[in-house]
A and B are shown apart, each in its own frame.
Chain A
Amino acid sequence: MTVTPYQSRLREGPYGFADLLHAEWTKFRTVRGWIIAVIVGGLAIVALALAPGQQGSCNVSSCTAPVGPGGEEVSDSFYFVHQPLSGNGSITVRVTSLTGEIPVLTQGAAMRAGLVPWAKAGIIIKASTSPGSAYAAMMVTGSHGVRMQDDFTQDMPGLPGAVSATSPRWLRLTRSGDTITGYDSADGTHWAQVGTALASLPQVAQVGLFTTSPGYLQTSLGEASVSGGPSVATGVFDHVGLSWPSGAWAGDNVGGGGGSPGGTAGSSQAAGTFTITGAGDIAPVVAGGGGDVTIAQTLVGTFAGLIVLVVVAAMFMTAEYRRRLILVTLTAAPRRGRVLAAKAVIIGTVTFAAGLVSAAIAVVLGQRVLRGNGAYVYPASALTQVRVIVGTAAVLAVAAVLAVAIGTILRRGSGAVAVVVVVIVLPYLLTVAAPILPPGPADWLLRLTPAAGFAIQQTLIQYPQVTNTYTAAYGYYPLPSWAGLAVLCAWAALALSLAVFLLRRRDA
């Protein structure tokens, strides 16, 4: 009787990358604890989005800002002395003074003389007096010289320097159809063009003089603590020249005057000199302090999910060393770099999928919960929301790959978990959550450390023409979204290269 020798039905080597992926996927899938942990990590992200921590007292009227021509929320309040302009025309004015008052923060409602940097006095052509309507304006500002601004987001510089009786500023706006051109001059004879703007204006637009003054902000360094209050500004205008026969001037506190202190807004006119006092701003709304909530708020669970997934990812590698499975793995697939690549692909795919599903649920349902609680959620376009969701999944996936790489380098689960959690979460903690660093060094930490990846969750835009605390603590990251993610990716790539190098060089 002959005995047929045992023949494995498995295919003979060499194995391709697809086989390696299959092997690594089998290893991952068959550890029940890891599958459960990935689900727990995803649930943590969703659970914290639904937790009823955020409350507000918004109803539709108190929390909806006017919307500008570009679709963004704007503040549009100023004192406006105006008359209608039918068709084309031009307005010229000389501004001889811009002064103001800012709050003394330590003494309740007391005010002192002072001017905020973006206090504005000048001329404006606006579609109507309703807030949010299209406009183009030439203005002198508190400390940014002459500017031409239009439709809330555009800003062009003109003559530098402050305005005074000895150094007045002449401003001119010319409308030709929907095109408005701004000019400035120091003497009324030599004019320079500042810029042109396209504003969709009706046949009859409102043209006139305005003054406004945004809120005063005082940042105390280091603590990044911000205090502030409303301010007012007063502009003095003369030599008003119109290209059409002047009608009667009407005075309006457009947009309610932006919380102007004590009802000081108004205008007076004597012998061709206009004195106009106003408060508020003509600018996009920026979030900062004041209980504003962005959609990143719904993703606070990212950190909990991240720690869970990092533990799984680190163990995915270090368990091989702990159980000596690495010997079998490397015997079966002697090309070590490809083994690590297969592991990174598997853990990256699994964590990306888990992150994508949970982030999508968190953002969609979390916003509903926040709005249901009456919190004001700073608006974000659908495209931005998709970027935040996909980006969050990417952050989790790259962090998991980083954990695999560090796990290979250290060969210890505890060390790998600690390193990854510390390099990602601690910089965030020191700069955003419990800021102890002053804004400058904090920004560098968020540019250089893996925590930069969280920039992918930012939805706020910085406008140089709006004074605000653009610090990480208020949701403004120093890097653009994708650049931040790229920093995290660079760290993961660096760690992965070192891991491949060590894995090849060392005994297993």
Chain B
Amino acid sequence: MRRAPARGTRRPDPQYAGRALHAEWTKARTAGSTIWLLLAIIATTIAVGSAVATATRCPAAGCGQDPAKVSLSGIDLGQAVVAILAVLAISGEYGTGMILLTLTAIPRRTTMLAAKAAILTGLVMVAGTVAVLGSLLAGRLILPGHGFIPAHGYPLLSLADGPYLRAAAGSVLYLNLVGLLGLGIATAIRDSAVAIGIVLGLLYLFPVAAAAVANPHWQRHLEQIAPMSAGLAIQVTTGLRGMPISPWAGLGVLAAWATGAMLAGGLLLRLRDA
């Protein structure tokens, strides 16, 4: 005789996580703003990168320019769009009250947040890759006409080149980490306007403050802990020795910020009423 499962205990659903993912994917896919924000990430990044590349000249060898950093400077703006996408992923639900339905359907809150993070990462990965490759292609087309030629010490931008590959892949990761930072903060804060203010403040205020500090010792420390300054060290391909932080360690600093934000957001999500 088979024993029926006891009442009140649920069998663990082996596809629970998969369903959560599917639900989040449906929400992301059908929200009107998602596709436009993804396109905006690509368009702003490539447009600003191309504009900066067009404005930059390297008249002679030793002009101290970094072609990877110049081509990828659109990330400075693109990350703001990523932050909007990330913040809206969760605070949009708080704004409309959808969060109640979401948490009723998926009561395991960390699973829900993880599913959101996974979908967000996937979307930013795709848009970020297109944006970064487009920026580098634009740089490859524009920069040689502006003095970035082998005679001045600049071979053609190519992903086969180790440092350039690192800058490209790292920039995509950078955008993803900014996305997770935004998602974590928005989960903790719930209000979209306040959350985006905090995310952009964290990203943009550190470099402004660091530039204002004349003391080189303090400046170096600020650039080592700032999510944007440290994280963008991943784009540097020339003059690495003078950097306050090495490329991967810098990206690690941003990863620490993103992890901290996600942990804080997850913890508050578990502890609080929705």
Contacts and interface: CB of A to CB of B under 8 A. Distances in A.
B136 interface: no
Contact of B204 (A54, A429, A432): A429
Prevailing SS type, chain A contact patch = helix
A334 to B, nearest CB: 27
A470 interface: no
Contact of A441 (B55, B95, B196): B55
A421 B197 CA distance: 8
| B contacts with A: majority SS | helix
A297 B201 CA distance: 19
A500 B87 CA distance: 28
B213 A436 contact: no
B160 interface: no
Interface in B180-215: 191-197, 200-201, 204-205, 207-215
Interface string A479-494: 0000000000000000
A54 B205 contact: no
Contact of B64 (A53, A220, A307, A412): A220
B65 interface: yes
B204 A425 contact: yes
A176 B80 CA distance: 66
Given A426-B204, A438-B56, A414 B192 contact: yes
A426 B205 contact: no
Contact of B215 (A53, A300, A322, A417): A53
B168 interface: no
A222 B64 CA distance: 8
B91 interface: yes
Given A310-B197, A315-B193, A430-B76, A436 B209 contact: no
Contact of A421 (B57, B204, B210): B204
B63 to A, nearest CB: 6
Nearest to A308: B197
A221 B52 contact: no
A221 B83 CA distance: 33
A418 interface: yes
A375 B215 CA distance: 10
Contacts of A416: 193
Contacts of A304: 201, 205
Contacts of A311: 193-194, 196-197
A447 to B, nearest CB: 14
A221 B195 CA distance: 38
A28 to B, nearest CB: 15
B135 to A, nearest CB: 13
A54 B87 contact: no
Interface string A412-439: 1111111001100110111011101110
Nearest to A421: B200
Interface of B: 52, 55-59, 62-65, 69-70, 73, 76-77, 80-81, 83-84, 87-88, 91, 95, 191-197, 200-201, 204-205, 207-215, 218, 229
